[in-house]
Structure 1
Amino acid sequence: MTDRVYPSAKPAVNGAGNPSFPATKAQLYSNARPAYRPQARHRRSRCCSCCLWDPRPVAFLVLILLVGLTGVAFYVIYRPQRPSFSVTSLKLSYLNVTSSSQLNSRFDLAVTARNPNKKLVYVYNPIAISIFSGDVDIGDGVIPSFVHGKKNTTLLKTRIGSDRKQLESSEASDLKASMRSRNGLPLKVKLDTKVKAKVGGLKTPRIGVRVTCDGIRVTLPTKRTAATASTSKAKCKVDIRIKIWKWTF
Structure 2
Amino acid sequence: MADRVHPMQSPPHPASPLPPPDQEDAAAAAAAATETTPLHPTFYGPPAPPPGTYIVQIPKDQVLRVPPSDRASRYKSLAERPVRRRRLRRACFGAFGAVLFLALAAAVFVGAVYLVFRPRAPAFSVASLSIRGLDVVAPSLSPELEVALRADNGANRKVGVDYRGAGEVAVTYSGARLAAGQWPAFHQAPRNVTVLSTTLRGTGVSFSDEQRKQLAAEQAARAVPLTVEARVPVRLRFGKVLRTWTVDVKATCQVTVDRLAGEAAAANRGCRVKVRPFLWWWW
Q: Which band: TM-score by shorter chain?
A: 0.5 to 0.7
CA contact (8 A) 1:136 1:175 kept: no
In terms of Rg, which structure is larger?
2
- Aligned counterparts, 1:105-184, within 5 A: 105-116=143-154, 117-126=156-165, 127-164=167-204, 172-173=208-209, 175-182=211-218, 183=221, 184=223
Counterpart of 2:266 in structure 1 is: 230
Q: Is the deviation greater in 117-126 or in 176-185?
A: 176-185
Shift of residue 215 of structure 1? 3.9
CA contact (8 A) 1:122 1:147 kept: yes
Give the 3 Å change call, closer, same or farther, for CA 128–43 of structure 1 in structure 2.
same
Q: Which residue of 1 aligns with 2:259?
A: 219
Q: List per-residue Cα deviations over 1:141-190 (Å, max 9, x = no partner).
A: 1121001122111111111120235x6xxx64554343222344321111
| Partner in structure 1 of residue 243 of structure 2 | 204
* Two-structure CA RMSD over aligned residues (Å): 4.3
Q: CA deviation at 1:129?
A: 0.5
Q: In structure 2, which of residues 119, 123, 137 is the aligned counterpart of residue 80 of structure 1?
A: 119
Distance 1:173 1:44 in 2: 80
Secondary structure of the structure 2 residue equivalent to 1:163:
coil
Q: Which residue does the alignment assign to 2:224?
A: 185
- TM-score, scaled relative to structure 1: 0.64
- Cα separation, 2, equivalents of 1:58 and 1:188: 50
Task: Give % identity.
Answer: 22
Normalized per residue, the structure richer in strand is 1
Deviation at 1:47, TM superposition (A): 7.0
- What SS does the aligned partner of 2:128 have? strand
Q: Secondary structure of 2:134's match?
A: strand
SS at match of 1:164: coil
Aligned partners of 1:185 and 1:56: how far apart in 2? 60
Q: TM-score of the superposition, structure 2-length normalised?
A: 0.57
Structure 2, gaps ≥5 residues long: 1-36, 41-77
Q: Write 1 or 2 for the structure with the bigger share of helix.
A: 2
In the alignment of these two chains, the number of paired residues is: 211
Please report how far the alpha carbon of residue 60 of structure 1 lies from its aligned counterpart in structure 2 after TM superposition.
7.2
2:275 pairs with one of 226, 240, 243:
240
What is the DSSP-based 3-state SS (H/G/I as helix, E as strand, rest coil) of the residue aligned with 1:180? helix
Q: Is the 8 A contact 1:196 1:203 kept in 2?
A: no
Note the alpha carbon deviations across 1:19-58, whole angstroms, 9 max, x for none. Answer: xxxxxxxxxxxxxxxxxxxx9xx969967986997x9998
One-letter amino acid of the structure 1 residue matched with residue 188 of structure 2 = H
